[in-house]
Amino acid sequence: MRKQRRKQFKREERQARYNAADVSDKLILNLRDLGHIMRRQYEGKASQKRILIVLYREGTTTQSALTERLGVQPGTASEVLAKLESAGLIQRDASAVDRRTMDIRLTEAGTAAALEAVEQRQNRHKAMFEVLSDEEKLTLLGLLEKLNGDWELRFSDGENSSPPCKARNNHISHHGTTER
């Protein structure tokens, strides 16, 4: 009971701060909250599902290329790849080009699992925006692209900034369905 009251008090306190905030602060608070929700909904940088999707879309690749693509440490990728290999979803073979590297490819079971993961991701993405009409989605997309472009120019510090999402240019995307 005490825990519930404490949670309720925190909710009310957050709501009071939100109500007192100006529009810019409310925008930031909403973007932050949406970011948290998206992280919970998303597979994660080096999840098994994400790796399967990347391999499905990109085909055979090396572990170093995959690690770079995912933006994770080599040890993290190795651990997940070992689990995928044990499950029979990927196969690692010595590269014909460079025997020091391993080529990673999906097995038949891995391809099936990747297709299932892609479908789950697409369904999740659609569900996340069901509350909006098609017109509202396009309006939101335009506003987000405008903000994204502006913030990339003004707030990018070079070294410490992540590369911009290429989905808007029909390049490979980590966000979902616009990938080729």
pLDDT tens digits, residue range 93-149? Answer: 988 888 888 899 999 999 999 999 999 989 999 999 999 999 999 999 999 999 999
Per DSSP, the residues of 113-146 read HHHHHHHHHHHHHHHHTTTS-HHHHHHHHHHHHH
pLDDT of residue 7: 87
pLDDT of residue 179: 37
> Does the pLDDT value for residue 86 go beyond 70?
yes
H helix or E strand, kind and range, residue 78: helix 74-86
pLDDT tens digits, residue range 7-50? Answer: 888 889 989 999 999 999 999 999 999 988 888 777 655 689 99
CA distance 1 to 53: 44
Is the CB of residue 71 less than 8 Å from the CB of residue 38? no
